[in-house]
């Protein structure tokens, strides 16, 4: 378990490298929900997602010798971009494994940041063993996208920023993929405001965390396609599972159609560009599957969209 002190330390550590992203209100969405709705705009973060927070926090805590050896990771996109970007600014070599199905713009961004990229398999899970094997054989530090406590603490700084601006938040909706973001955000919010409800949101075809929480133990699922590819996972790690099990007030699932409509609403009504994964929290709010009160925050976790996918959403939803 991480604590609020870990998140505060992360905030101090990474402050010169990442943005304090805005908390933006929306009259349009507020009128649809009979609440005051705000968006935490991590789509405006460095590299286009919240992942930069954790990547900087992890690399900054490495020893000089570890930095000389380099870092490695696997990712479908946003974690890879964040690691490559942070590594470049900190003078560290980054080795990254990504699936062949990764969004081309994310792959090119990683290369532009100086990362050495290997494409393999269809999912991030296919790449994971290769990254871990490379780490063990070459003494390169492996950066887990979700389970590393320093990653969680770094992501949790977004939760601190929410509470600094809106300390009377009734509910925070946050998407759940591997659980690193949710673990950090929930730790920060529940430490500062125990009465604030924290709701996790997953795609209904990638509901590994909710499936495990409802079962009371880690219960792998068979992964199926979701338009929210950044939230892919077959089973939560033990650290994320423990934290989410203890701190979440509820966890709900949404369909690809609900995520697509939320993505379009953000673009057309709010002028905020999000990838589908980034719009999942709003889809959770609009689904009506969880109680939310008057002051509501939805996390927009990222804005690194696939152009073809976004075009289909705008044309058909």
State the CB neighbour count (10 A cutoff) for residue 12. Answer: 9
Tell me the DSSP string of 180-244.
HHHHHHHHHHHHH-TTSEEEEEEETTS-HHHHHHHHTS---------S-GGG--SS--HHHHHHH
Short-list 292, 195, 220, CA closest to 252? 292
Query: Catalytic: 51?
Result: yes
Q: Rounded CA gap, 58 and 35, in Å? A: 37
Cβ atoms of 307 and 181 within 8 Å: the answer is no
Catalytic residue among 75, 212, 260, 301: 301
Q: Rounded CA gap, 51 and 53, in Å? A: 5
Catalytic residue among 51, 183, 193, 212: 51
Q: Tell me the three state secondary structure of residue 169.
A: coil
**CB-side exposure of 186: number of CA atoms within 13 Å?**
28
- 25: part of which helix (H) or strand (E)? strand 23-25
Query: Catalytic: 260?
Result: no
- If you ran DSSP here, which 8-state letter would residue 242 be given? H
Q: Rounded CA gap, 130 and 136, in Å? A: 10
What is the side-by-side order of every strand in the sheet holding 171-175? 23-25, 36-41, 295-300, 171-175, 197-203, 250-254
- Tell me the catalytic residues: 51, 301
């Amino acid at each position: 378990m991480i604590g609020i002190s870990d998140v505060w330390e992360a905030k101090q550590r990474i402050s010169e490298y990442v943005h304090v992203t805005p908390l933006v209100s929306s009259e349009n969405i507020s009128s649809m929900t009979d609440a005051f709705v705000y968006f935490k705009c991590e789509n405006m973060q460095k590299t286009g997602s919240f992942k930069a927070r954790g990547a900087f926090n992890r690399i900054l805590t490495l020893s000089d010798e570890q930095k000389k050896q380099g870092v490695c990771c696997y990712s479908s996109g946003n974690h890879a971009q964040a690691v490559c970007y942070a590594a470049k600014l900190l003078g560290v070599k980054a080795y990254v494994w990504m699936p062949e199905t990764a969004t081309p713009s994310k792959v090119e961004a990683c290369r532009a940041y100086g990362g050495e990229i290997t494409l393999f398999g269809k999912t991030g899970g296919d790449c994971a063993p290769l990254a871990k094997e490379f780490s063990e054989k070459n003494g390169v530090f492996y950066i887990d996208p979700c389970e590393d406590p320093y990653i969680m603490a770094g992501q949790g700084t977004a939760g601190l920023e929410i509470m600094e601006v809106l300390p009377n938040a009734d509910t925070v909706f946050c998407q759940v993929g591997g659980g690193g973001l949710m673990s950090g955000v929930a730790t920060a919010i529940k430490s500062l405001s125990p009465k604030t409800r924290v709701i996790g949101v997953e795609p209904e075809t990638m509901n590994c965390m909710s499936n495990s929480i409802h079962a009371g133990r880690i219960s792998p699922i068979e992964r199926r396609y979701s338009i929210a590819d950044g939230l892919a996972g077959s089973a939560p790690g033990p650290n994320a599972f423990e934290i989410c099990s203890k701190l979440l007030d509820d966890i709900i699932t949404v369909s690809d159609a609900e995520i697509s409509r939320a993505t379009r609403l953000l673009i057309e009504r709010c002028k905020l560009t999000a990838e589908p994964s980034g719009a999942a929290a709003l889809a959770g709010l609009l689904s009506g599957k969880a109680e939310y009160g008057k002051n509501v925050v939805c996390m927009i976790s990222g804005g690194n969209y696939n152009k073809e996918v976004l075009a289909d959403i705008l044309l058909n939803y």
